[in-house]
Amino acid sequence: MKIALVVFTFGFQVFSASAFAQPRGALGVPKTPLAAADSESAECTTVESLQGAASMIDGILEQTNAGPLFVRLAWHDAGTFDKDLTSGWPKHGGANGSIRFEPELNHGANAGLSGAVKLLEPVKEAYPSVSYADIFQMASALSIERAGGPKIDMKYGRVDAEKAFEPEGNLPDAEAGDDGNFGGDSGTVSTKDTSPDGHLRKVFYRMGFDDEGIVALSGAHTFGRAYKDRSGLGKEKTKFTDGKSESSKQRLADGSEAQYRPGGSSWTDQWLVFDNSYFKILDDAGADGELLKLSSDKSVFADEGFRPFAVKYRDDQDAFFEAYARAHKMLSELGAKFEPDEGLSS
């Protein structure tokens, strides 16, 4: 079983809250001084505390370029959701912050995500009323927007689960295992299939997505890298990730050069920018051979149900952004319990 979603790593350093006391504003919200958080109650999330958390996360992103890592953390927290489980919250999985607990954090698909949780701990320290579930999903949405992607209409007020989601196997595989099957029987429902498209449908239909949502979410592979020592996929490094060659120079959405730790394999040549390059490269037979094209990726053009959406997103970035923002919002709310019920907006 080989699992590959968006991955990004660097030399991890655990920061204190004071390290991000003066970040620039996020999502256009004003900076919130750390002193405002010192007296904050852990009992009630407010718009002000959400704005402060957003500013801190933006500061972390500015210093680390960890956006793809935060996207992966949020996706893996939410992606356990099973709409057919009748046990209710939080046992049906979803965006509830349970990924911070073992054994879930140590599941094979979550390799490396403990570093993401540590990077976001200062935000929880400064704004204890904001749940881990909200912090994880906020970091993901901010990462997409900061990388040039769409602004996502996020809802906050998620309640944290207080234990791990223990079933392992609810997340998608990128390649077949030694038995020739994608997925397996270890999750809440079998996702085993001999084809990548069949497997993807079993995984994402279980969450409530349709084919359009599957293809749109696949497009997030435009952002980040896969690591051989984690997913078993890709190479230790390529000319796009070695940190030495001209091809490895990475730009942020504002055009500035990005610093990063070398290694891994990317789906696109500019893997810190969120755009529709993933679809263009996938459908280009002449694309550089060092760029990833995994079986699950290829299926978005090969499968008759997926292909119309993949073609649409290849040719129209605005259409991709619209569909992606809708699918990302849905993913971020799967299985979540909100207080108040209608949620909060930052």
Residues forming the active site: 76
Structure tokens at 260: 């990063």
Closest CA to 202 of 216, 231, 181: 181
Residue 167: is the preceding peptide bond cis (ω within 30°)?
no
Positive or negative: CA dihedral 118, 120, 126, 127: negative
Helix-helix angle 211-218:317-333, to 10 degrees: 100
Question: What's the one-letter identity of residue 95?
Answer: A
DSSP state of 275: S
Backbone angles phi, psi at 74, to 5 degrees: -65, -40
Collapsing DSSP to helix, strand or coil, 61 comes out as helix
| Alpha-helical segments (H) within the chain | 35-38, 47-64, 67-78, 113-126, 132-146, 196-207, 211-218, 228-231, 277-282, 295-302, 307-315, 317-333
Query: Which DSSP helix (H) or strand (E) runs through 265?
Result: strand 265-266
* Distance of alpha carbon 245 from the chain centroid: 28
